[in-house]
Every structure is written in structure tokens, then in C-alpha cells.
């Protein structure tokens, strides 16, 4: 009897606390392309023609999404979405898998596998290794940081700035 009770307790806790692939966020589609919800902030708001919300749960790639968000752009052929792994292979020469991704200085913590950016949005891709940080040089943990700079107003202004450096002697006679 004790063994049977232990078996039922183990079975109940396994079912109750077992992992399930549920998310409380909707599936986001831009021109029929599934993208991560946090990639919406990198889409130009002036390019959106319409937004349609469907309050129906759906399962995509074994993940349950709570609703669907369909965004239609003014020019559907304009966007060319690529994933972070594709950005790594096309814009860098990194071969390791230990990578931290950033977009405009903000860490990408969630949805790394489904996070996509428009290829036309990418201004520059910067790569930094742990060797560049003094405190991490002696560490056994080695990784690369990929910072993707987008075509925002601030990034474009900084890219177009020309800094002249030199020695200037003003007012010395």
C-alpha cells in the first residue's frame, strides 16, 4: 500500500509540475512571417498598414500561443527577415556557440531561436570578445558578444559624424 501511494504521488507531481510549452503571449506574424514578439519594436511604425488580432489559441512548433497578431505592412516585399544564427554566419566570422546577442545595446534574453530582424534594418554588426574586458580575461568562460546596430536616427547620426583629432594651439604666442 505504501508503494502504491508513493507511485501515485510521484505520478501526480510529475503530471502537475511537468514541463509544458505554453506561452502567455500571442503569435506575431508580419506579412505571414512568424517573428518573436520582442522583434516588433524594430519595425518602423509608419510602414504598418493594418493590425488584426485573433483571440484564438494556436499551436506552432509544439508551442501554445494565446492568440494571434497579424501585422500587414504597406510594402510586403520590403521585409527580408533573418534569424540571429543567420546574422552570425553572414556578418561575422565567429565559429563558437557561446554568444550573447544585443540589438542597439539591449540584450536579447528571450526567444533567441525565433527572433528575426529585417535585413534592411541592420546598419552594422559589432563583435566583442571576452578578451576585450579586463575583468573577464582571466576567466575560464569565453564568449562573444554580437551587437547589431539598426538604422535608427541616433545610429545613423553617429555613423555620419566625422571626428577630427589633433593638437590645437589656440591663443599661444
Three-state DSSP class for residue 39: helix
- Stretch 40-57: mean pLDDT, rounded? 86
Q: Are residues 60 and 131 in the same domain?
A: no
Question: Strands 68-73 and 48-54: what pairing?
Answer: antiparallel
Q: Are residues 85 and 156 in the same domain?
A: yes
The number of folded domains in the chain is 2
pTM: 0.66
Torsion of CA 91, 96, 101, 103, to 10 degrees: -10
Q: What confidence tens digit (pLDDT) does each residue in 135-154 have?
A: 767 777 788 889 999 888 88
Domain that holds residue 84: 80-161
Q: Are residues 63 and 35 in the same domain?
A: yes
Amino acid at each position: 500500500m505504501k508503494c502504491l501511494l508513493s507511485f501515485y504521488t510521484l505520478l501526480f507531481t510529475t503530471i502537475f509540475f511537468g514541463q509544458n510549452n505554453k506561452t502567455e503571449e500571442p503569435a506575431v506574424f508580419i506579412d505571414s512571417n512568424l517573428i518573436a514578439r520582442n522583434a516588433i519594436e524594430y519595425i518602423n511604425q509608419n510602414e504598418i498598414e493594418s493590425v488584426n488580432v485573433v483571440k484564438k489559441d494556436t499551436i506552432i512548433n509544439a508551442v501554445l500561443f494565446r492568440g494571434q497578431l497579424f501585422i500587414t505592412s504597406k510594402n510586403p516585399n520590403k521585409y527580408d527577415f533573418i534569424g540571429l544564427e543567420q546574422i552570425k554566419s553572414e556578418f561575422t566570422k565567429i565559429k563558437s556557440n557561446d554568444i550573447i546577442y544585443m540589438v542597439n545595446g539591449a540584450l536579447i534574453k528571450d526567444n533567441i531561436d525565433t527572433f528575426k530582424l529585417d535585413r534592411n534594418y541592420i546598419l552594422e554588426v559589432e563583435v566583442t570578445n571576452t578578451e576585450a574586458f579586463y575583468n573577464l580575461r582571466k576567466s575560464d568562460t569565453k564568449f562573444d558578444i554580437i551587437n547589431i546596430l539598426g538604422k535608427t536616427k541616433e545610429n545613423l547620426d553617429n555613423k555620419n559624424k566625422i571626428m577630427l583629432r589633433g593638437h590645437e594651439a589656440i591663443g599661444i604666442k
